[in-house]
Amino acid sequence: MKIAVLKEAAAGERRVSATPETVKKFVALGAEVAVEANAGLDASIADQAYADMGAAIGDRAGTLKDADIVLGVQGPDPASLKGAKPGAWIVAGLNPFGERARVDAYASGGFEALAMEFMPRITRAQSMDILSSQSNLSGYKAVLDAAAEYGRAFPMMMTAAGTVSAAKVFVMGVGVAGLQAIATARRLGAQVSATDVRAATREQILSLGAKPIFVEAVQGIEGEGTGGYATEMSDEYKAAQAELVSAHIAKQDIVVTTALIPGRPAPRLISDAQVATMKPGSVIVDLAVEAGGNVEGAVAGEIVERHGVKIVGHRNVPSRLATDASALFARNLFNFLSAFWDKEQGRPVLDEEIGNAIRLTQGGKVVHERLLG
């Protein structure tokens, strides 16, 4: 059973899909592991560290030759996969909705593409969930990015020269990224408030010492979609939320937005008019900028200034913490493959619940129901 670990080709991608730790574990399972030269360089992992754990280091062609499983952070170019076995698994974050043509190419190439971001949110799959592991780091980094752009201190400081007021931070969207953003801002000494369309998050916000900001006037709208994700809200709720947010946002120094809806453009949470109500020198970090953005005027890959407010729109935020992000991502992939490892066959064998949830292509066809509808 040969597992190939590729060097990421996407612009700005610094993560790697395996670490020396996970290579050692794969070898212990009886797998042969091949790592493309310099695959871990941007994540501060030298080729020798992989070799010391039993991996073969080589060029892309040698790494892919007769590979049964190909690991990646982002989906590799189908044209670059020559040499892998027919029916080889492609295990990575595949962005199925944004890169549909690539999914079709995996099918026509005879590969079995497994999209790790489609991992079901069930208890036994928590350790395999790349969205959670990477979002956790994104929420942390978002607050650090905000602090770097904010021209003032976060904590309250009482000095002989006078008192410095604590920064006011507002987190919009309390998923994994939002919760970590709240915790990080609190550690830095900010006054933190947060909101979400899911009523169940109120207790989580309070447990982290932040103030929940919720629409109270509109009853019976919970915002809870399938699998623990948020869902699209009614127009009535959106109007009530916009009114509430407008009043609150004008008083904030920093806003972090994290709202995403799988398979759809990110919901617009902050309008240009609302940005204009914020104080000059305020900062907004839009973690959904690559999905269309929560903030009007946000630009993917740029820090722009509107009405004296900086709007931070970094791409691929987990990659900005490449070493830790790689370690967590690699463990997600190992936890996934090892959970289904059949010792007699010497390879992983998927069950229906998780296999059907993440399998995009098989037998030369696109098979996932979310891509067929």
Q: Is residue 111 classed as helix, strand or coil in its secondary structure?
A: coil
Amino acid at 264: R
145 is catalytic: no
Sign, Cα dihedral of 334, 24, 324, 84: negative
pLDDT tens readout for residues 296-316: 999 999 999 999 999 999 999
pLDDT tens readout for residues 151-181: 999 999 999 999 999 999 999 999 999 999 9
pLDDT tens readout for residues 235-275: 777 777 778 888 899 999 999 999 998 878 999 999 999 99
Q: Quick one: 71 exposed, middle or buried, by C-beta within 10 A (0-12, 13-18, 19+)?
A: buried
Neighbouring residues of 48: CB distance < 8 A, sequence distance ≥ 6: none
- Predicted confidence at residue 218, as pLDDT, reads 59
Longest dimension (CA), the chain: 73
> pTM score, two decimals?
0.92
- Predicted confidence at residue 245, as pLDDT, reads 83
Catalytic pick from 47, 104, 121, 202?
Answer: 121
Instruction: Give the confidence band of 74 by pLDDT, cuts at 50, 70, 90.
Output: very high
Residue 149 has pLDDT above 50, yes or no: yes
Q: How far is CA 125 from CA 174, 265, 353, in A?
A: 21, 26, 10
276 C-beta neighbours (distance < 10 Å), count:
12
HEC sequence for 236-267: HHHHHHHHHHHHHHCCCCEEEECCCCCCCCCC
Higher pLDDT, 61 or 238: 61
Residue 353 has pLDDT above 90, yes or no: yes
Give me the helices (H) in 95-225, please: 100-108, 130-149, 176-187, 202-207
Q: Using CA atoms in the order 89, 44, 15, 65, what is the torsion angle rounded to 10 degrees?
A: -20
Catalytic pick from 127, 229, 246, 338?
Answer: 229
Residue 118 has pLDDT above 90, yes or no: yes
Describe the crossing of helices 176-187 and 130-149 by its angle, rounded to 10 degrees: 40
Which secondary-structure segment (H or E) carries 171? strand 168-172
- Predicted confidence at residue 200, as pLDDT, reads 86
Catalytic pick from 42, 68, 129, 196?
Answer: 129
229 is catalytic: yes
Phi and psi at residue 131, to the nearest 5°: -60, -40
- Mean of the per-residue pLDDT values of the chain: 94
Instruction: Give the confidence band of 198 by pLDDT, cuts at 50, 70, 90.
Output: confident
pLDDT tens readout for residues 23-48: 999 999 999 999 999 999 999 999 99
Residue 326 has pLDDT above 90, yes or no: yes
Catalytic pick from 44, 48, 108, 126?
Answer: 126
204 is catalytic: no
Residue 220 has pLDDT above 50, yes or no: no
Catalytic pick from 132, 204, 282, 319?
Answer: 132
Q: How far is residue 52's CA from residue 46's CA, in Å, rounded to a whole number?
A: 10
Which secondary-structure segment (H or E) carries 33? strand 32-36
Q: How far is residue 114's CA from residue 117's CA, in Å, rounded to a whole number?
A: 9
Q: In this structure, are residues 82 and 64 in contact, taking their beta carbons and an 8 Å threshold? A: yes
DSSP conformation letters of 325-356: HHHHHHHHHHHHHHHTEETTTTEE---HHHHH
- Predicted confidence at residue 264, as pLDDT, reads 87
